[in-house]
Each structure stands twice: as structure tokens, then as C-alpha cells.
Amino acid sequence: MTKIALLIGLAIATLSACAQTDHYIAAAYSGMKFQVPGSPVIVGSLGANNDILLIKYSNNVGERYISFGTENTLDTGGCGWPDFFEATLSANQDYGCDRASVESFKSVFVRGADTGVWKVSDRVYYYFLSDQEPSFVFFQSDNGNLIKLESDFLDSDGFRRVLGDL
């Protein structure tokens, strides 16, 4: 009887532990680690000038993906990245950056998106989240690169989880 009770207790404990298992895996990009949802269908990387890490969760083309890419060639209109992103998020028309660059970025990333800034520890994340289109988060990596995190299915909490804030 004691053995049966012990086996039942062990089975319940094992099932409880499995139910609480975190379904995220670590992904490394640009010298940083991120927590992405587990069970991707495919993971691919294009190095050199493209420098993209793509994690797919669907067999359908262009659906359910997370990508990390280096965006060092983003036209910031003569501003540093922090000033540029602050200009794109501001309703103020006096940018200090080239107006055409700011307006061009706004037309692609800001219109129709929930926008803002997350500050986590000593890092700043500029987010552009959309219900209809892919969503984006821009931030500077530890090695000084501008990183664009993109997904067509993550919500605010999902992005923050990937970035290690939840």
C-alpha cells in the first residue's frame, strides 16, 4: 500500500512539474540572449550583410515568425538613434532630425500602431505594435548595433518576455 501511495504521489508531482514547465527557449543574437517561445518549426540565420535570425512557428510562408535583424543603415536624418526614435514618437513637429526621414519612418512604423518606450534596467526599447501588421521593437545591442525585433504574432507581453522583462 505504501508503494502504491508513493507511486501515485510521484506521478502527481511529475505531472505538476510538467504543467509548470516554462515553454520558452534561449535564442542568441548580436551577443545577447533572448527568451523565445519553444517548439519552432524552423530556425534560420543569414549572416554577413543581412545578419538576420529568423524563428518560424508555422509552415505557412510569412506567418508566425520572430526575427532579429541589425538595422545600422536606418536613415535617422542626421540624429543619433535615441533622438531619432524620440522624434518619431513625439507629436512635436520641431524634430531636430531631417523631417523627411522622421516622416518616412512614421508612415511605415507609427501610423496605426501602439507606440512607446520600455525602459528595462539600463536599456531602452522603442516599440511599434500593431494588431493588423507585423510589430517591431528597436533597441541598441551591447556591441552598439541597432537591432530590430519583428513579429507578426507577439503582443506586448510576448515582446517583453522575449526581451527578458517578464
Confidence band for 166, pLDDT divided at 50, 70 and 90: low
Q: Let me know if residue 78 belongs to a domain.
A: no
Q: Let me know if residue 95 belongs to a domain.
A: no
Note the pLDDT tens digit of each residue in 25-35.
999 998 899 99
Note the pLDDT tens digit of each residue in 60-113.
999 999 999 999 999 999 999 999 999 999 887 777 899 999 999 999 999 999
Query: Quick one: three-class SS letters along 53-121?
Result: EEEECCCCCCCCEEEEEECCCCCCCCCCHHHHHHHHHCCCCCCCCCHHHHHHHHHHHHCCCEEEEEEEC
Q: Let me know if residue 107 belongs to a domain.
A: no
From the CB of residue 69, how many other CB atoms can be counted at a distance below 10 Å?
Answer: 18
Note the pLDDT tens digit of each residue in 107-119.
999 999 999 999 9
Q: What percentage of the chain has pLDDT greater than the value 70?
A: 84
How many folded domains does the chain comprise?
1
Instruction: Domain of residue 2: give its range.
Output: 1-70+112-163
Q: Let me know if residue 55 belongs to a domain.
A: yes
